[in-house]
Amino acid sequence: MVTLLLPEISIFLLAVIFLFISIKKNKSETSLSFAKFVSIIPFVISIFCVSGRGLLFSGAYSIDLFSQLFKVMLAFGFCVVVFMLENTDDIEREYVAEYFMFLAFSVLGLMMLVSSVELISIVIALEVSSYSLYVVVPLRKGHSKMQWEAAIKYLFFGAISTGVMLYGMSFIYAACRSTFLADIVLTFPTLVGHPLGIVALIMTLSGFFFKLSLFPFHFWAPDIYEGASNVTTTFIATIPKIAGAALLIRFTMIAPSFYMQFVNILVILAALSMTFGNIVGLVQKDVKRLLAYSGIAHAGYLLMGVLALTRDGNAAAVYYIAIYLLMNLACLYVVVLLANKGENVELDDLMGLSRRAPVLALTLAVAAFSLAGIPPTGGFTGKLFLFTSAFKQGHLTLVIIGAVNTVISIFYYLNLVRMSYSKEAPPNNSNPIKLTFNQKMVCYVLVFMILYMGILPKSIFGLFKAAL
């Protein structure tokens, strides 16, 4: 049992180590470099544990390829986020150890979430991950009010979504007399035929939709992205979304595909989310807000794979969330490095980036083209899989809406490239940005991964498909 839980245990120990550092008197740079070093360990361990299989805690906790792959992604994302916090003035120095502790606890919660196959444990895992984030959001240097507003909003919306989700789950329990997904599957077909069943399902899913910032559960995202520090935003924008997607996929896998009402609701949500995210994204000036709306749109794309309710569709969705992790990490990494005092980055601040820091401009360009879905990046391949699986189930209209959305979104993604390549920097903001070797390496790794997933998706897609 212990060997099966190694990823969780390693991240838990990591959090405990940070706890001890945080109560030490003279905590300083050493804790930071220590953190960076040890954050690789859970990532390595979770890679080695990919082959683990088993059911724990009377069947409430499932260790399978699906959950283990997601744990690798979570650990990778955590690792990159920790590496980001180098030479930046994002967080108050004295809180750095606590900051890492909360992030580690949050990842622990998310790791538990992807393995949970029982309603109560899902809720507990979700809350473990969320509570840490509520604390982390206001830990920001400089901005005096914005982060408090963000934190309060996040807390309130999070609490409401949990409440709605619990309410939905109570309906499911009432109908199925069990909280185990394995039991629910059996009685589900009769439940979904009933309107109340659909309501229960949608209410339950809304908790995950909230994590994914899918329309209309999206409204927290832009404010929190803007208000939280750059590194925190990176975390919130990527890692909980992975777990949210995992849970959504697990949950819809049990829904039988022949209940059109359920699928129709998902189709409408997907179409609205894409369109709303992209259209509002057009007018954003703040890069983090822009990425928040882009995230809303991408949640819609992701849903296209999920609502196909097929194995291919789910594999496509998993592939897309993996590539989404990389693209967003890349974009936000550029933001973090560009804002050396931890301030927010406006589109205009990107001007002349290709001269100030060619590596950053390249990273941003690759990530933006990938977000827009231009080949040969991973964003294109992922979208191709999603479109194909949705089309296969006859959702032609949705595919066309998705296609049109791709065109709309190109306006603002191209803006990121346009600002950094074709505009000259204003004189007061034209100093070259010096990057350390580590920072350059992170950029190169992200660029390489985005292109790799675009050009050679075979092995990774095969792995994801095998996991479902």
Partner 1 sequence: MDQILIMNHLDFPILSTTIFLPLVGACLLLFLRNDTVIKVTASVTGLINFVISLLLYVDFNVATHLFQFGEMKAWIPAYNINYALGIDGITIFLILLTTFLTPLCVLSAWSAIQTRVKEFMFCILMMESAMIGVFCALDFILFYVFWEAMLIPMYLLIAVWGGPRKDYASIKFFIYTLFGSVFLLVAIIALYLNNQTFSIPAAMSGNYSFTFQFWVFLAFALAFAIKVPMFPFHTWLPAAHTEAPTVGSVFLASVLLKMGTYGFLRFCLPVTPQASVYFAPLMIVLSVIGIIYGGLVCLSQTDMKKMIAYSSVAHMGFATLGIFAFTLFGFEGALLQMLNHGVTTGGLFLCVGIIYERTHSREIFDNAGLGKIMPVYTGLFGLFAISGFAFPGTNNFVGELYILLGTFLQHKVAGFFAVVGAILAAAYMLRLLKQIVWGREDKRIIPDMNAREIIYLVPLAVFVIWMGLFPRPFVLTVEKTLMHLSSQLQTYLH
Count of C-beta atoms within a 10 Å radius of residue 372: 23
Q: From the CB of 93, what's the least distance to partner 1, in Å?
A: 38
Q: From the CB of 462, what's the least distance to partner 1, in Å?
A: 7
By the rule CB under 8 A, 350 interacts with partner 1 = no
By the rule CB under 8 A, 435 interacts with partner 1 = no
By the rule CB under 8 A, 403 interacts with partner 1 = yes
**CB nearer to partner 1: pick between 37 and 448:** 448
Q: Tell me how far CA of residue 7 lies from CA of 11, 47, 217, 438, in angstroms.
A: 6, 9, 31, 25
Q: From the CB of 388, what's the least distance to partner 1, in Å?
A: 5
Count of C-beta atoms within a 10 Å radius of residue 224: 27
Is 5:37 a contact under the CB 8 Å cutoff? Answer: no
Q: Which stretch binds partner 1 (CB under 8 A): 129-137, 182-190, 254-262, 419-427?
A: 419-427
Give alpha helix (H) positions in 137-229: 146-176, 181-193, 195-212, 220-227
Among 134, 173, 421, 452, binds partner 1 (CB under 8 A): 421
164 HSE (CA, 13 A, CB side): 18
Q: Tell me how far CA of residue 36 lies from CA of 14, 33, 161, 337, 348, in angstroms.
A: 11, 5, 33, 17, 32
Among 59, 216, 256, 462, binds partner 1 (CB under 8 A): 462
By the rule CB under 8 A, 466 interacts with partner 1 = no
By the rule CB under 8 A, 400 interacts with partner 1 = yes
Among 388, 433, 435, 452, binds partner 1 (CB under 8 A): 388
Per DSSP (E only), the strands in 248-328 are none
Q: From the CB of 374, what's the least distance to partner 1, in Å?
A: 5
**CB nearer to partner 1: pick between 232 and 314:** 314
**CB nearer to partner 1: pick between 82 and 399:** 399
Rounded to the nearest 10 degrees, the angle between the axes of helix 195-212 and helix 260-281 is: 30
**CB nearer to partner 1: pick between 38 and 445:** 445
Q: What DSSP line would sit under 83-124, residue for residue? A: HH-SS---S-GGGHHHHHHHHHHHHHHHHHHHHB-BHHHHHH
Cα–Cα distance for residue pair 107/126, rounded to 1 Å? 10
Q: From the CB of 346, what's the least distance to partner 1, in Å?
A: 18
By the rule CB under 8 A, 422 interacts with partner 1 = yes
Q: Which stretch binds partner 1 (CB under 8 A): 29-37, 47-55, 332-340, 400-408?
A: 400-408
Cα–Cα distance for residue pair 160/157, rounded to 1 Å? 5
Cα–Cα distance for residue pair 446/454, rounded to 1 Å? 12
118: helix, coil or strand?
A: strand
Residue showing tokens 């390829």: 65
Is 325:238 a contact under the CB 8 Å cutoff? Answer: yes
Q: From the CB of 412, what's the least distance to partner 1, in Å?
A: 11
By the rule CB under 8 A, 16 interacts with partner 1 = no
**CB nearer to partner 1: pick between 17 and 417:** 417
Is 165:123 a contact under the CB 8 Å cutoff? Answer: yes
By the rule CB under 8 A, 53 interacts with partner 1 = no
By the rule CB under 8 A, 463 interacts with partner 1 = no
Cα–Cα distance for residue pair 252/201, rounded to 1 Å? 9
By the rule CB under 8 A, 43 interacts with partner 1 = no
**Is the CA virtual torsion 100, 104, 105, 109 positive or negative?**
positive
By the rule CB under 8 A, 12 interacts with partner 1 = no
Site for partner 1 in 57-76 (CB under 8 A): none
Among 77, 207, 378, 457, binds partner 1 (CB under 8 A): 457
Cα–Cα distance for residue pair 233/236, rounded to 1 Å? 5
By the rule CB under 8 A, 391 interacts with partner 1 = yes
User: In the stretch 356-385, what mask flags binding to partner 1 with x, by CB under 8 A?
Assistant: -------------x----xxx---xx--xx
Site for partner 1 in 309-338 (CB under 8 A): 312, 315
By the rule CB under 8 A, 290 interacts with partner 1 = no
Cα–Cα distance for residue pair 190/277, rounded to 1 Å? 35
**CB nearer to partner 1: pick between 132 and 294:** 294
**CB nearer to partner 1: pick between 174 and 441:** 441
Cα–Cα distance for residue pair 324/401, rounded to 1 Å? 20
Q: From the CB of 56, what's the least distance to partner 1, in Å?
A: 31
By the rule CB under 8 A, 452 interacts with partner 1 = no
Q: Which stretch binds partner 1 (CB under 8 A): 7-15, 22-30, 340-348, 404-412?
A: 404-412
Give alpha helix (H) positions in 213-357: 220-227, 230-253, 260-281, 287-306, 311-338, 353-356
54: helix, coil or strand?
A: strand
Cα–Cα distance for residue pair 175/199, rounded to 1 Å? 12
Q: From the CB of 222, what's the least distance to partner 1, in Å?
A: 24
180: helix, coil or strand?
A: strand
Indicate the helix (H) or strand (E) that contains 258: none
By the rule CB under 8 A, 468 interacts with partner 1 = no
Which residues would be at the binding site for partner 1 (CB under 8 A)?
A: 312, 315, 354, 369, 374-376, 380-381, 384-385, 387-388, 391-392, 399-400, 403-404, 406-407, 410-411, 414, 417-418, 421-423, 457-458, 461-462, 465
